[in-house]
Each structure stands twice: as structure tokens, then as C-alpha cells.
Amino acid sequence: MTTTVRSAIPMPPAAAKALVATGGLATAASTFVHWTWTSAFPGDLTVDGYPGGLQILTLVAGLLTALFALPLYGVRGTRWLTPAGPAAPALLLATGGFATTWFTLIAISYELGGIANLEPGGYIAGVASALPLIGALGLPHRSTTTARPQGVKAGIRHYLGAFGRLIGPGADLKPAEPLDRWTEILVIITAAALGLVVFTYGIVTEYGELFAGFLVLTAFCAWALIRSGLLARLTAITARHRGTATAAAFAAAAAFPFTQSDDHFATVGVNILIFATVALGLNVVVGLAGLLDLGYVAFLGVGAYAAALVSGSTSSPVGLHFPFWAAALTGMGAALVFGVVIGAPTLRLRGDYLAIVTLGFGEIFRIAVNSLDGISGPKITNGPNGIRNIPDLNVLGFNFGIEHTFGSFTLGRFANYFLLMLLFTGIVVVVFSRANDSRIGRAWVAIREDETAAQAMGINGFRLKLLAFALGASLAGLAGTVMAHVSYSVVPDPYQFAGPVPPNSAFLVAAVVLGGMGTVSGPLLGATLLYLIPEKLVFLKNYQLLFFGIALVLLMRLRPEGLIAGRRQQLEFHEDEDDSHESAEPGEPALTTAGA
């Protein structure tokens, strides 16, 4: 077989490019006519001239498809959008628009009782969204067969293979000329602002169908950014301005409460931060040191209970009322002590044996706090009733339990705690980053890769693993102190291995693996997704975990290194693909695109 350049659907390149561009615009235009006759479907898609609900997602998909079609024509200045070639992002964005539109049409037909509930605008949108997808499949790509297959099955395999080659790993990016300093800073600020918009929109979605469509479109858009090479360029820019990028990210996060008028969404935001901070602490243990801890949520519980006991709760058997800084240190110290006590006798185990022991510790903690009720054991935790009536924090005269007005903005209780938890998240990020870049962090990575080899090089594996266990536990305890005050009470039920709602140990481990082990932003993103998905997909009812599991399996199959992976993980999981690129003939591109 020989390598040729051909398309999945045979058509002239000019026609393919025209279908992508005009199809994207037609898809966007179709959102300005009504898709159904009744407002019973959420989002009210009955209005002409004003997109609503899921139509907004189709509008965004159509405009992005048309924008990323410009590099196909070689429009000056647009090549910067697709440094790795324009064909793959055009196909992914077209597929995202098609999937979002047809998801909406199918949801309308299913929920309203048949396709008779679709108006002509819906049929127009369905056809219009297929045009850019057909055009993108007509763009040239690299093929390893000289003859088209015969038969239906062979044809399906051919088109699926062509799709896979088009969106699969492409050639390495050519080094880009750096922009001037202020332009790069402007790019960083714009990226942070867009991230805030996407995050806010995802949280404030009012019904499950809209969030499901949002997930589909966001996934394809993120995939397109990766395949276009634009995300790699942005990563290079943030690496040159690390301080500015960090400040912009935290400024965007701090602006989130000021965009909310409903305290419910601020509640979701602060719970995401708690979950993400605990996941980042677990990343020290799992991502850096390679210790599979299945009972990590117990350290969150230790910190929460310790802080609740000394925070002035009327139901606390201790009867102490520490200031918040002392309560936070108490929670961290208690979690650290438990980490050392549990880790010292168990960290000589490895692999599955260590995982089983930590799983047992998590269950022992939950059973113990249930038993310390004054009947089965000493009265310390009040058993299943927990410690309730935990007072709101009052730090330097600022009461976190009441509303505060800043100009035209009003911050409610959960918005106040969101900003406090963001401060703690920043502290954990700094601790993790410094530990990762230190000599100890490199020793942790060496232990994770091969503990026997690391010990042969003079690394004290047990001592460093115990240090990782203690550090991860103390970071979880810190998050637990805030969690206790946010929820007003601490009860044993949430601190278990698995359950329908995070945080629990299974979700924490999944957040680290899904987001990307050993990175800072990976667990933050993974925790955000794993908290939002169960929160928003309540409409699936009994099928919620089924679809959630299918999505995780597909994601791990397509991107096993995680959503945000370090260079080491990318090389580990895509070694064969890198070898195939190296063995290509000199001068042969890994992906040939029209207009490149």
C-alpha cells in the first residue's frame, strides 16, 4: 500500500471548503427561526429572530465552524488559529454543531411525543448542520490505501478510519514567532475571560438538556483547540508569562461570585472548589508519589470534625471556640497526625495491597465517627447526628454568614465562602507547585516510576512516601475546615468510598485520573466536571450513573493520559504514535489539509 492524499467523501476541495464555510453560517442562521410550536420544551424554542436555550449552543457552533473555515481559504491572519492545520478543527467543530443540533431535535421529539412537534425551522437546522460535516469530510487527508473499499461494511470502516486519521495526532507544530509582550498578555487575559464565561454558563444552566448539549459542544470545541495546535501555542505563551497567567486565572475565578444574583449557583461554585482542592491534595499522593489511596476522603472528614469540635458549635462535646485560623490549623494538624499514624505501618506495602489497606481505613473512620455517640463509645462526634449548628466565620469583623454590598454588587453567604475557599485553593496550588518542582518532588516521581530503582539510587522510599501521605492529608484537612462551616454541620454519611454525590474517595481518584495525574490544572478540571455532571444530569434519573460511566469509559479510551496531561504522560500513552511519525518518509506531512 502507498500513502496518498484523499478525502473521506470524494469532492473537489473548493466545494468542500465552501460547504464548511456556508454550512457553518447556515447552521447559525437556522437558530433565528423557531424549531417547535410549544414552549413545553425547556428554553422556549418557539420565538423567531431570537435564539433561546439549546439554539444558542447551535449558534455558537455554527459561528465557530465558519470562523475556523477561514484558514482553509488562507485568509491572512487566520492561520494563527490553526498552526497544526485547519482540516481537523473544522471537522471537529462541524461534528460538534451537528451533534448539538440533532441532540436538540431528538430531545424535542422524545419529550413532546414525536417528530410532529418539530416546526420547519427544526428541519432546516438539521439539514444545515449536516452541510459543514459533509464538507469537512471532503477535505483532503492522508490515506494508506490506493483503492476505495467495496461493500457497505468496508465503506463504513473506510469512512471511520478516515475520520480517525483526520482528528488523530498530527505533525509536530512548527515553532511560532513570539508576539510582543503586551499582545501575549492580552491573549492570556482574553483566554481567562473566555474560561470564566464558559464556567459560568455551565454552572447557571437551568435544566439538564441544556447542560448535556453544553457538555457535547464543549467537548468537541476543546478537542478542536487541541488538534488545531492553538492550545499548545497558548500553553507556550502562559509558560513565558507564568505569573501573569496565574494572576489572570485567579482574577477570573474571583470574579465569578460577582456574576451571580442567585446564591444557589455560588453554592455550587464553593462546593466545586472544596472538591477540587481535596482532589489536588490527593494528586500529591497519587499523581506524584504513585500511592493509590482509596480512603483519602477520611482525611477530609478528620479536618472537618476537628474544626467543628473547636469552632463554638452548640452541639460540640468539647465546648471550645477557637478563632478561625486556630480551627484551620487544628483541622490540618489532626489530618496530618492521622496521615502519619495510618501511613507509618502501611506504606511499606505496595500496589493493590496498599489500596486495600487505605480503603479499610476510610471505612474504619466512617464507622468510628458513627460509634462515638456516647452509647457505643465515648461522646465525641455525636454519632449519626454529627456536630451541628456550626457558627459562621467572623474574620477581622467580616461576617461570612451575611450579605455584603460592594457598589452595585451583593455577595451572599456562599459567595463569601467561595472567595475564602479560593484563597485556600491558591495556597494548595502554591504548595503543590513548589513540591512538584523541588528535589523531593522529583524523588516522588522516581518512586512512582520504579521504587526499586529509586531506592538503588539512594532515595529513602518509605520516608518520602510518608511525607507525601502526610502532606496530602493536611491539605485535605484544610479544605475540611471550610467545608464544615459552609455546610453548618458535619455528619458521617458523605465520608465513604463511593456514593451518588461527591466528595467521596472514588470520585476523588476519578477526578485526578480524569483530569491528569501530576498536573495542577488537571485535578481542578476533573473535579469540576465530576461535581457538575451529577448535579446537572438529574433529569436522567436512574440512568444517570449509566451515561456517566459510558462517558468516562469513552474519555479514558480516547485520552487515557487525562484531559490535561504532562509531557511524561503524553509520551507514555502515545509512544507508538510518536514512533509512527518518526518513521514517516522525509518530507511527508502527518496530516495534509486543504489551504495549508
Q: What is the pLDDT of residues 179-208, one digit of tens each?
A: 788 888 999 999 999 999 998 898 888 888
Specify which residues 563 forms β-bridges with.
Answer: none
Give start-end residues of each CATH 1.10.3470 domain in the chain: 263-400+418-573
What integer pLDDT is reported at residue 62 of this predicted model? 94
- Domain range 263-400+418-573, its CATH number among 3.30.70, 2.60.40, 1.10.730, 1.10.3470: 1.10.3470
Say if CB 428 and CB 284 are below 8 A apart.
Answer: no
The length of the chain is: 596
Residue ranges of the chain with per-residue pLDDT less than 70:
1-8, 141-178, 499-502, 539-542, 544, 566-596
Chain centroid to CA 212 = 15
Q: What is the pLDDT of residue 61?
A: 94
pLDDT value, residue 395: 81
What distance in Å separates the CA atoms of residue 382 and residue 484, rounded to the nearest whole number?
A: 15
Residue 96's pLDDT is 93
DSSP state of 318: S
Cell of 351: 500496589
Q: Which residues contact 497 (CB under 8 A, 6 or more apart)?
A: 294, 295, 297, 359, 362, 363, 504, 505, 506
> What CA–CA distance (Å, rounded) separates 187 from 165?
31
Please tell me the distance from the alpha carbon of residue 595 to that of residue 25, in angstroms, as a whole number: 19
Q: What is the pTM (predicted TM-score) of this model? A: 0.81
CA distances from 330 to 19, 271, 491, 502, 505 (A): 63, 21, 18, 24, 23
Least Cα distance to 471 among 336, 289, 317 occurs for 336
* CA diameter of the chain: 81
